[in-house]
């Protein structure tokens, strides 16, 4: 199933006294439901130390220590200085309880002074992965 999302188009509109202004119109475009679904569980602001690992295109294994900003039973938001792409496959380890789970990058925020924010979705997670009551 797909849901519509919007893509902006810009037109110039001439208004009275010869001035012009930009007006944005929207057009419907199909997007997958994976990125438009509502959240599946409660979220909690929590700074959990994690390690994230992935393979580069050249086959090099990268391991980076990071921390979460938000957790829920199905994933988290983390901050990394390194750049990842949507749909990258990673391994996420909760350093506090030494649990490791396969995961996928499902959202990438804009650059921030401390790095990029990423939405990470756990693949078939254990409900106690975070060691928190959510």
Three-class DSSP category at 33: helix
Residue 111, both tokens: 């650059």
User: Quick one: pLDDT band at residue 93, thresholds 50, 70, 90?
Assistant: very high
pTM recorded for the entire structure = 0.68
pLDDT reported for residue 30: 43
pLDDT reported for residue 53: 98
Query: Does residue 21 or residue 49 have the better pLDDT?
Result: 49
Query: Cβ of 77: how many Cβ atoms within 10 Å?
Result: 17
Give residues with Cβ within 8 angstroms of 105, minimum separation 6.
Answer: 84, 85, 86, 87, 88, 90, 118, 119, 120
Q: What are phi and psi of 34, to 5 degrees?
A: -55, -40
pLDDT reported for residue 132: 73
Indicate if the pLDDT at residue 41 is higher than 90: no
| Residue ranges per structural domain of the chain | 2-35, 44-122
Query: Does residue 31 or residue 87 have the better pLDDT?
Result: 87
What would be the CATH architecture of the domain defined by 44-122? Beta Barrel (2.40)
The predicted-structure confidence for 43-52, as pLDDT tens digits, reads as follows: 678 899 999 9
Residue 39, both tokens: 């959240």
Indicate if the pLDDT at residue 75 is higher than 60: yes
């Amino acid at each position: 199933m797909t849901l519509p999302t919007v893509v902006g188009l810009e037109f110039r509109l001439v208004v009275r006294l010869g001035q012009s202004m930009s007006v944005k119109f929207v057009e419907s475009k199909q997007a997958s439901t994976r990125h438009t679904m509502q959240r599946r569980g409660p979220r909690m602001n929590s700074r959990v130390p994690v390690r994230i690992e992935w393979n580069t295109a050249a086959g090099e294994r990268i391991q980076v220590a990071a921390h979460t900003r938000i957790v829920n039973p199905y994933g988290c938001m983390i901050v990394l200085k390194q750049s990842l792409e949507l749909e990258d496959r990673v391994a996420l380890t909760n350093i506090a309880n030494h649990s490791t789970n396969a995961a996928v990058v499902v959202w990438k925020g804009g650059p921030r002074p401390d790095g990029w924010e990423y939405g990470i979705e756990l693949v078939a997670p254990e409900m106690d992965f975070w060691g928190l009551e959510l």
